[in-house]
Structure 1
Amino acid sequence: MGIKCLLLLICFWALSGSVSTTSSDGLVRISLKKRPLDLKNINAARITSREVLHPRGLSSTDSNFDDLQSNIVYLKNYLDTQYYGEIGIGTPEQIFTVVFDTGSSNLWVPSSRCIFSIACYIHSKYRARLSRTYSKIGIHCKIPYGSGSISGFFSQDNLKVGDFIIKDQVGYNMVEQRHLSQQIFSLWLNRDPTSQLGGEIVFGGIDWRRFRGDHTYIPLTQQDYWQIKVGDILIGNNSTGLCEYGCAAIVDSGTSLLAGPTAVVAQINHAIGAAGVMSLECKTVVSKYGNMIWEYLIEGIRPDVVCVDIGLCLHNISQFVSAGISSIVQNGTREGSSVDESASCTFCEMIVFWIQVQLKQQKTKEKLCERLPNPMGKSFIDCDNIAAMPYISFTIGNKSFPLSPEQYTLRVEESCTTVCLSGFVGLDVPPPQGPLWVLGDIFLGAYHTIFDFGNLRVGFANAA
């Protein structure tokens, strides 16, 4: 399946449009605007994973729908999306505000035939009968997201991006119709909260003003997503262990947060002093299996098999799925398994890696659960301590990409006060697709990013 170069998702909210320009060098620049985050949106944000069966009726369609046929996709709630721009659909054009989302390949808008949804009444709707270039496809679809799903049908029309009109609405047609001189687009997100300009996406090239130094390029490992391989994640100079030999990562402009394996996120949130403690399940696992886990690790048993050996995790998650049944992993709970069993597995995996860190630092296991923050809940931190917090570094392409405390924390204005939160949230995706990281706007705000669909790679450089 070929990579889709233009990855868009329509926002559910109506916002003022952005400015798009086409320069003399043939580049299309879309100025992005930024919607401020608040606690309501942070609380609503969810990133989960789900087993998805092949949608009925799509198996014989073209590769543009292949992403709906993936075995496991990660889901997110777009209430936490901050950056948006403007496009036109149809002839004459109908204007919509969109998220330029590299984590999704579907472009959808509310239809004029949508009459049973409140959201459709308060947002712009696409009216096919008003477009001279509309073509009916009519295949019905259902697309899952972290906060639910949308149902509809596929259609085809022209898409306007900047001053370019892309016929037949397929992103790669920007190249085939000679709108772009290079098969790339680049993304710069402005993390300055006082600036009117939220960022910029450039189709066909790069803006040299938006980065410093050279880009480090990493090949894609999947063509369904902008997915790459990351190595170890460091807290200061200390390894977190789980991704030492590699984890998958999706470069996703459509989410504000950094999501990753609970075992690592718990270590990070503990190191930065995030408030909150683990639930009763953690204490249950430690009381019953803590000594056994400790001894297993001392004996040299690999951390990734400890929880399987003691019987808290299944070796092959696929046995949860039978024909016609979808197994869901949502906030650490699989549908078809008991809550206690799934929670125990999640906490066991997290505790194993935490104990491994304690062993390396020659520490003891007393009061383990009281010391671990809750990676799935709100992770508040003391705003006054941000400057003293450690750097968190991602190893990508044998190079370190550090994030400063100011870069990986969120400052939210709430009731005339400032609340600070960790930008890391837990996301557990089982092998072989996982462990998985989602590099959202927190990471992309620190690093100017080139999406090179001609050479199937992604490039990062320090953002200016």
Structure 2
Amino acid sequence: MGTKFRAAVITLFLSSLLLPLVFSESNDGFVRVELKKFKLDENNRNADRLTRQILDSKIARGIVRLKNYQNMQYYGEISIGTPPQKFTMGFDTGSSNLWITSSKCYFYRACYYHSKYYARRSRTYKANGTYAMVGYGKDSISGKISQDNVLVGGLTIKNQDFIEATKLSGPEHKNTKYDGLLGLGFQEISSGRVVPIWYNMMNQGLVQNPVFSLWLNRNTEEEEGGQVVFGGIDPKHHKGDHTYVPVTRKGYWEFDMGDVSVNGKPIGVSGFSAMVDSGTSLLLGPTVVITMLNHAIGAEREDNPKCKSIVRMYGKTILNMLLVKEKPKKICPLIGLCRVDGKKSNNIRTFQCNTCELIVVWMESQYKRNHTEDCILNYIDQLCDSMPARQPSLVNCLQISSMPIVSFLIGGRNFTLSPKEYVLPIGGIACISGFSSFDIAPPLGPIWTLGNVFMGRYHTVFDHGKMKVGFADAA
């Protein structure tokens, strides 16, 4: 009650002293402030300073400012509980759960690298007790679901369910700069059927528009590493209009993507879906395409005799089967490298089958370009050495300026990445390709994951109301 009284007095004081000061809300979800000039003298200098503080807090509502760690991790601050307990969080459009390291996380080394949530210290904590687990590739977290108030960018989300993580499995958790993740995907992929925090922002009327946007700064020397805006778009951080594409499947922010090109020439493998994922540092894609991309940019290669032996033994046979008018739908089972029923029996058979299927796609892409048989077989032989033996692939730092432009066709526009944008220097001693292979099995895959390498170049809008994703040049 005392706080409300002081706020009322300040407002009355400013309104009588400062002239017409008008707040208005526009369609982009931001609070606009219209100002008129007045003569500033020593008597009202303090009032002017106080006014700026009020305006700054008004405009900043719904905005989370991010830190950037080596262009690999982006994280911002939230609070949970009453009184608030502060945490640094990754804002992840590739998952849907909110989780935080629990004070009951004892038996995993990663537990001791992060701030922890203490339920008993919060007056607004409510127990749920349901067990939930979330997987992130080779890593996972698990624990019991709890409920508390969460403060994000000045917005208080009441009674938000989240996972108190007591188990942090996998090698990466101890290396992260954040204490947990705030998932911004759809509820369809939420573990434990938990309502995501973004849904509750909308349900509780905390945002004017059902839209949020991300800007990731790739300049590591600047203080501000990025920005998440809940309820709108900050025009300062993009140039030109956004190109929008419809969400094709709720779960991830997934859409259809067209050709991938190198220096303006399509590589000949397309038709994959893509999702935009702020929780992934690199740009991930199916091995069949990533191998071709890393070969095209000149990533370092390693001799792959197993792959080459398959090319030498079966290459001409596969190519001849592709040349017939009615080519078979499944070539690899016909030549005995894959089982007819599609099952994989052992590691050797799995490698042979997977490699054969890659070779078929590579040959088809080259055949469409009317290359000769010798050219095709020689190219496939080279691709064998570009297959990702280790992740990510190394590139020569001295050759970045001569590497090609890579582009992705989305919504009729080619979104380009220059070598300086897709090559990442690591510790000043090495450089890695921003393209890394990650195969997701059907029915969810195969799919591209456009992570921070892409999002750092393009400001991204997530329109939940109209079920679409938009990209514009970042500013």
Shared topology, TM-score over 0.5?
yes
Secondary structure, aligned partner of 1:271: helix
The AA in structure 2 aligned to 1:110 is T
Q: 1:24 aligns with which of 34, 58, 73?
A: 58
Q: How far is 1:114 from its partner?
A: 1.9
Q: For 2:361 and 2:323, locate their aligned partners in 1 and report how far apart those are by CA, in whole Å.
A: 13
The AA in structure 2 aligned to 1:344 is Q
Aligned: 1:183 with 2:210: yes
Secondary structure, aligned partner of 1:449: strand
Change (3 A) 1:278 1:374: farther
Aligned: 1:409 with 2:423: yes
Q: 2:337 aligns with which of 298, 312, 315?
A: 312
Aligned: 1:282 with 2:307: yes
Q: For 2:451 and 2:338, locate their aligned partners in 1 and report how far apart those are by CA, in whole Å.
A: 29
Q: For 2:298 and 2:328, locate their aligned partners in 1 and report how far apart those are by CA, in whole Å.
A: 25
Q: How far is 1:304 from its partner?
A: 7.1
Q: For 1:25 and 1:227, locate their aligned partners in 2 and report how far apart those are by CA, in whole Å.
A: 31
Q: Deviations over 1:166-191 (max 9, x none)?
A: 01223312122222111111101111
Structure 2 counterpart of 1:159: 150
The AA in structure 2 aligned to 1:233 is V
Structure 2 counterpart of 1:42: none
Aligned: 1:342 with 2:350: yes
Secondary structure, aligned partner of 2:378: coil
TM-score, normalised with respect to structure 1: 0.76
C-alpha contact 1:181 1:204 (8 A) present in aligned 2:
yes
C-alpha contact 1:85 1:97 (8 A) present in aligned 2:
yes
C-alpha contact 2:284 2:448 (8 A) present in aligned 1:
yes
Aligned: 1:437 with 2:428: no
C-alpha contact 2:61 2:155 (8 A) present in aligned 1:
no
Q: How far is 1:26 from its partner?
A: 7.1
Aligned CA-pair RMSD: 2.3
C-alpha contact 1:260 1:425 (8 A) present in aligned 2:
yes
Q: How far is 1:313 from its partner?
A: 4.1
Q: 1:382 aligns with which of 396, 399, 402?
A: 396
C-alpha contact 1:27 1:204 (8 A) present in aligned 2:
no
The AA in structure 1 aligned to 2:201 is M
Structure 2 counterpart of 1:270: 295
**Where do 1:46-125 residues align within 5 Å?**
81-125=72-116
Q: How far is 1:351 from its partner?
A: 2.0
Q: Which structure dedicates a bigger proportion of its chain to helix?
A: 2
Aligned: 1:213 with 2:268: no
Structure 2 counterpart of 1:257: 282
Secondary structure, aligned partner of 1:307: helix
Q: For 2:112 and 2:397, locate their aligned partners in 1 and report how far apart those are by CA, in whole Å.
A: 40
Structure 2 counterpart of 1:34: 68
Structure 2 counterpart of 1:332: none
Secondary structure, aligned partner of 2:76: strand
C-alpha contact 1:307 1:313 (8 A) present in aligned 2:
yes
TM-score, normalised with respect to structure 2: 0.75
Structure 2 counterpart of 1:398: 412
C-alpha contact 1:303 1:352 (8 A) present in aligned 2:
no
Q: For 1:309 and 1:159, locate their aligned partners in 2 and report how far apart those are by CA, in whole Å.
A: 58
Q: Which runs of 5+ in 1 are unaligned?
A: 1-20, 38-80, 321-335
Secondary structure, aligned partner of 2:228: strand
Secondary structure, aligned partner of 2:361: helix
C-alpha contact 1:278 1:370 (8 A) present in aligned 2:
no
Q: For 2:117 and 2:457, locate their aligned partners in 1 and report how far apart those are by CA, in whole Å.
A: 36
Q: Deviations over 1:429-451 (max 9, x none)?
A: 23332221000000101110001
**Corresponding pairs, count:** 379
C-alpha contact 1:376 1:426 (8 A) present in aligned 2:
no
Q: How far is 1:350 from its partner?
A: 2.3
Q: How far is 1:397 from its partner?
A: 1.5
C-alpha contact 2:69 2:220 (8 A) present in aligned 1:
no
Q: For 1:258 and 1:292, locate their aligned partners in 2 and report how far apart those are by CA, in whole Å.
A: 34
Change (3 A) 1:90 1:456: same
Structure 2 counterpart of 1:426: 437
Structure 1 counterpart of 2:28: none
The AA in structure 1 aligned to 2:443 is P
Q: For 1:412 and 1:105, locate their aligned partners in 2 and report how far apart those are by CA, in whole Å.
A: 30
Higher relative contact order (Cα pairs below 8 Å, separated by 6+ residues): 1
Q: Deviations over 1:27-51 (max 9, x none)?
A: 42211111126xxxxxxxxxxxxxx
Identity of aligned residues (%): 45
Q: Which runs of 5+ in 2 are unaligned?
A: 1-54, 161-196
Q: For 1:279 and 1:255, locate their aligned partners in 2 and report how far apart those are by CA, in whole Å.
A: 28
Q: For 2:235 and 2:319, locate their aligned partners in 1 and report how far apart those are by CA, in whole Å.
A: 52
The AA in structure 1 aligned to 2:69 is R
Q: How far is 1:158 from its partner?
A: 1.0
Secondary structure, aligned partner of 2:151: strand
Structure 1 counterpart of 2:317: 292
Q: For 2:335 and 2:263, locate their aligned partners in 1 and report how far apart those are by CA, in whole Å.
A: 32
